[in-house]
Chains A and B, each alone.
Chain A
Amino acid sequence: MAEKLVGKISEFKDGDRRIVFFGDHEIGVFRENGAFYAYSNYCLHQGGPACEGLTIAKVEERIMPDKTSKGLYFSDTELHFVCPWHGYEYDIKTGECVSDRRLKLRKYEVIEKGDELYVRA
């Protein structure tokens, strides 16, 4: 297991993302609500750069007790990152593909050492 420096934590703002090249690995590192997440940058669909696109809240639909729909809204709790090639959406906290949660991007361990952030592969 080797480690690769991602950068200084103090320079990594909430909502930022970095792509780290590490041997054969290409890793997307996100900072969201203070936490760091790192996933393979190879989309499970056709291999696109899964971590390089938009981040956007999950879209949900509100269904009332009588089963009528109150329409669409953005989730307050679940954020997705979206592969820019065709739009596969991934849960930023788990790396699960939200259309089929059995599919998961490879997750990398993130290590904080003082002000430095590393990923381990």
Chain B
Amino acid sequence: MELMSDRGRRVTVDELNTTRLLAHARQQAHQRKLDDMVIVDVDAHHYENEHMKDILPFMENDVLRQLAMAQGMKGGRGTLMPQQIGYQDVGGRVTRYPLRASEKFEPGQHRDVQLGHRWMDAMGVDYSCLFPTGMLNIGLHPQKEMEVDLCWAYNRWVTEKVLPESGGRMFSMLSLPFSNPDESLRHVETFGHRDGVGGFMITAVRTLPVYDNAYMKVYRAIEERGLVLAFHSAFNWSENVFRGCNRFIAVHALGFSFYNILHCTNWVVNGMGERFPKLPVIWIESGLAWVPFLMQRLDHEYMMRPSECPLLKKKPSEYMRDMYYSSQPMEIQDLKAMEQTFRMMDAENRLLYASDYPHWDFDLPSTIYDLPFLSEKAKHNILGGTAARLFKLKPRNDKQKENLIRFGNYTAAA
């Protein structure tokens, strides 16, 4: 196939074959014996926008469904989801974006499951948490009722048509229509017990107050079911503060951390950790460097302004250390800084490996495995042991079972 290069020049590259593209990932997995460890990827993606014609029929409201399907039939001219200006593939340099449609798959199994299994097998990933892509912007939808119905349709489709075809290797944390607390609760009550549902996800690109009394019933319902709550971040170039940025690197670098910093701050200072001590919370795709930053900022101010956070019984950083963080994108350029970050966040018990594949800045398991300052136990926990406990995932071979037992991660997995 040909890709567009400088000045209209065309460059010939092979068509996309994920297994081939990731052949070096397979080599790494083999060299490190990663198949002997349970590896859980808590953040992988598919492109649900390629399946809207299958998703939209699951919408509940007749009128909204007709509106949405009619919009979908207009091909490229119909817009249903809030769109973002973005250049993730760096002008086609990250070739799996422009080549995506060229990848072949076998009939009989959902395309997204087949592609998912290809990269999981290449990397040595046993289980992956599948998230949508375009839906991460659902919080920007101006119509609350459309947000609710699109979340509903996606959640039905992914739990009924996609996850069941993965042989138990894919699970999800389902998107909540967070603009509507009552509907969010109905989503938890309806989908919370379904196979493959590990918890629920708040798409973080929104500025709603996560401490609002209206949400307490939602958090309680998730906690009562022993499920997980995740905040999945993204970017929004149209957000006022980012309108002054002229390069995508600026919007991306700041945006993904920005929204989780916002929500995590509100979560912590409003004592949500005291209100829901048994609710595991994961902060997804903001990198790690923001964590020590926020810990230091909040601790510093808390010492002088405890009257504004009366529910707190310990420092904000300690509440942050009670929560979980996904590892990607891991800012690895300064190893010493990273080591501090790992110490501050108690990475051995709180960090969860994530690839974010197939998105442009994905991380392989080797990014964790090769860190020189990590103990064996920390590597096993981060790459999958901790997540196996959180999501009650079983080992897939005897070696994995041995390793889960060895590092105390087997209890709930049996």
Contact = CB atoms under 8 A, between A and B. Distances in A.
Interface residues on B, range: 20 to 34
B28 A47 contact: yes
A12 interface: no
B13 A52 contact: yes
A82 B363 CA distance: 17
Chain A binding surface, main DSSP class? loop
B92 A54 contact: yes
B363 A46 contact: yes
A86 interface: yes
Contact of A84 (B23, B94, B364): B94
Contacts of B92: 54
B91 interface: yes
B19 interface: no
Given A54-B5, A74-B6, A82 B24 contact: no
Interface string A42-55: 10001111001111
Contacts, number: 60
Contacts of B159: none
B23 A86 contact: no
29 contacts: A42-B24, A46-B366, A46-B367, A47-B25, A47-B366, A49-B24, A53-B13, A53-B93, A53-B95, A54-B3, A54-B13, A54-B93, A55-B11, A57-B5, A57-B7, A74-B6, A82-B90, A82-B93, A84-B13, A84-B94, A84-B95, A84-B96, A85-B21, A85-B94, A85-B362, A86-B94, A86-B360, A87-B90, A87-B94
Interface of B: 3, 5-7, 11, 13-14, 21, 23-25, 27-28, 90-96, 360-364, 366-367
Interface of A: 15, 42, 46-49, 52-57, 74, 82, 84-87, 89
Given A56-B91, A84-B21, 19 more contacts: A47-B24, A47-B25, A47-B27, A47-B366, A48-B24, A52-B13, A52-B14, A53-B13, A53-B95, A54-B3, A54-B13, A55-B5, A82-B90, A84-B13, A84-B93, A84-B94, A86-B361, A86-B362, A87-B93
